[in-house]
Amino acid sequence: MNAAHQRVRCPCCGEVFTLTADMYVADESPPAVAPPAESAVSYPPVPIHIIFDGGSIGNPGQGYGSYQLSVRGKVEQPKRIQFGAGYTNNEAEYDTLITAVEAVLRRAKDPKRVQLEIRGDSQLVIKQIKGEWKIKEPRMLERVRRLHALLQQFGSWNAEWHGRDNSVKALGH
């Protein structure tokens, strides 16, 4: 297996996958565990917070979302996203979070130093990505797998539910 591939076990469904650039490939073998790399220089972790919210006008309907990043305590302006027609509320929630995580990965010089904290008012998204709720819909399972492939690139990540009022305060809707 080359450096562009990595085996991981999904905490939600228990399946083992070989990760490539943008996809999961099912695999029956147990994941390979690499020993931690030793480094002579230790850098402090970089705390990054994401607040996200997605929705649709109609269900399904026009999908949209917003997210806000806070890097080392500096709060940034919320970003707005339009997804198009045919989105359910839950699909928009997931795709907003995926977009936010991808934005963090594009900016991070060393994602393994990032301590990612995720907050959202969608219990479904938060509990499914943490493996606390089952994933019944294939469309949602596909999104969870994509999200886990992104999240495993960080040094650590955590996701917590917060009330709707917190999303409104941060994102303006």
Q: Is the pLDDT of residue 47 over 80?
A: yes
Residue 14: which region, alpha, beta or left (left: phi > 0; alpha: psi -120 to 50)? left
All structural domains of the chain with their residue ranges: 47-171
- Tens of pLDDT, residue by residue over 135-164, are 999 999 999 999 999 999 999 999 999 999
Least confident of 13-27, 45-59, 93-107, 156-170: 13-27
- pLDDT for residue 19: 45
- pLDDT for residue 42: 72
Closest Cα partner for 172 from 95, 57, 71, 66? 66
- Tens of pLDDT, residue by residue over 102-139, are 999 999 999 999 999 999 999 999 999 999 999 999 99
- pLDDT for residue 7: 58
Per DSSP, 96 falls in state H
Strand order in the sheet with 16-19: 6-9, 16-19, 24-27
First to last CA, the chain: 46
Alpha-carbon distance of 60 to 53, in angstroms, equals 16
The dihedral built from the CA positions of residue 73, 94, 20 and 36, taken in this order, carries a sign that is: positive
The model carries a pTM of 0.77
Q: 47-171: what CATH class?
A: alpha beta
Least confident of 4-8, 75-79, 128-132, 137-141: 4-8
- Identify the H or E element spanning 147: helix 138-151
* 20 backbone dihedrals φ, ψ, rounded to 5°: -120, -170
6 pLDDT band (50/70/90 cuts)? Answer: low
- pLDDT for residue 36: 56
- pLDDT for residue 135: 96
Assigned token pair, 55:
């929705």
